[in-house]
Amino acid sequence: MRQNSLSAWALAARPKTLPAAISPVVMGTAMAYADQGAHWLTALLALFGALMIQIGTNLANDYFDHKKGKDTHQRLGPTRVTQAGLVSDRGMRIAISVVFGAAFLAGIYLVYRAGWPIVIIGLLSLLFGLIYTAGPFPLAYVGIADLFAFLFFGPIALAGSYYAQTLTMNWTVLVAGLAPGCFSLALLTVNNLRDVDEDRGTRKRTLIVRMGKTYGRYQYLGSLIGAAIIPLLLWNIRPEHAGVLITLLMVFFAIPAIRGIFGGATGRALNHTLALTGRTQLIYTLLFITGWLL
C-alpha cells in the first residue's frame, strides 16, 4: 500500500465504527417523521456532521496514539496508518482539520435552524472528539471515554437530531437515545477488551484496564441488554407505537457476538466480534425505524 493512498485513508476512517454515528441520527429522524416534523435538509446535514465527527475522532486517535507512543508492532486491531507510515504526520494533521472543519460547516446551518442548543452540542462533540486521545488528559487514557461515548453517540445525538428538525423535545426521544448509546458503549468495550494487554503495557488506563476483563465482558452484555430493554420502555411510554417491539428481534442477531465475548475470544478474534456488534446495531436501527413507523 503506497503512502497516502485512498485505501490507507479508508482504513484510517475505520468504517466498522460508523454505525455508531449513523444510528442515532436515523432513529431521531424516524421519530421526527412520525411526529410530522421531519426536515430532510436538516436530517442530511446532521447525518453528515455526525459522520465527520466520528471519522475525525478516528483520525485523531490514529495520530495522537502514534505521537504518544501508544501504538506498537503488537497492535491487534486495524492498522494505524500513521504509525505504519502509510500516511505522513503532516497529512494526518491536515485531514483531521479538514474533516472536523466539514463538520463545523454542516453545523452552521443546523445552528441557524435550531439555535443555541445545537451550538452547545456541536462544539462539545468536536471538542470531545479531539481530546478523546489528544491533550494532557485524554479521555481514552483516564478511563472515562465510555461515559462520553454513551452520551454523545446516544441520547445527545438522537435528541439533537430530533430537536434540530422539529424544534421540540420530549422524554420519549431521550429514552430512545439510550439504545444507540448502549451500542456505542458495546463497540468501545469490544475494542478495549481486544487491546487491554497492549493498553496496560503502554499505560493507557481504559476502564477495562482499571476494572479487568471480566468486568468488560459484563459491561458488554449489560450494554446489549440495555438496548433490548429500550423498546419495552418506549412501548410503555407511547403504547400507540407498539410496533417498536419488533426491535426485540435484535436479540437473536446479538447471540453470536455475545458467544464471542464469553466464549474466550481474545486479541484479533475480537475484531470479528466488533464487526458483529456493528451489524447488530444496524439491524436494531432498521427494526426500530420499521416498528416506530408502523
Q: Check residue 133 and give its pLDDT.
A: 82
How high is the pLDDT of residue 268?
A: 82
Q: Name the helix (H) or strand (E) containing 180.
A: helix 171-194
Q: Which three cell numbers stand for residue 268?
A: 484479533
DSSP conformation class of 141: G
Q: Which residue has the cell 506498537?
A: 72
State the Cα–Cα distance between residues 117 and 126, nearest whole angstrom: 14
Which residues, other chains included, contact 2 with Cβ-Cβ below 8 Å and sequence gap of 6+?
Answer: 8
Grid cell at residue 110: 443546523
- On whether the CB atoms of residues 11 and 2 are closer than 8 A, the answer is no
Contact present, 54 and 20 (Cβ < 8 Å) = yes
Q: Say how far apart CA 77 and CA 69 lie, in whole Å.
A: 16
Q: Reduce the DSSP state of residue 252 to 3 states and report it.
A: helix
How many separate helices (H) and strands (E) can be counted in the chain?
13, 0
C-alpha 255 chain-centroid distance:
21
Per-run averaged pLDDT (10 residues), the chain, 294 residues: 69 87 97 97 96 93 81 64 87 94 95 94 90 81 88 95 96 97 95 87 85 94 97 97 96 94 86 92 97 95
pLDDT the model gives residue 75: 61
The DSSP secondary-structure symbol of 3 reads T
Distance CA 256, CA 253 (A): 7
CB-based burial label for 253 (10 Å; 0-12, 13-18, 19+)? middle
At 73 the pLDDT is 57
- 260, 273 in Cβ contact below 8 A? yes
pLDDT number for residue 281: 96
DSSP 143: T
pLDDT, position 1: 39
Indicate the pTM of the whole model.
0.91
Please name each of the domains of the chain with its CATH number: 6-293 (1.10.600)
Task: Count the neighbouring beta carbons within 10 Å of the beta carbon of residue 263.
Answer: 10
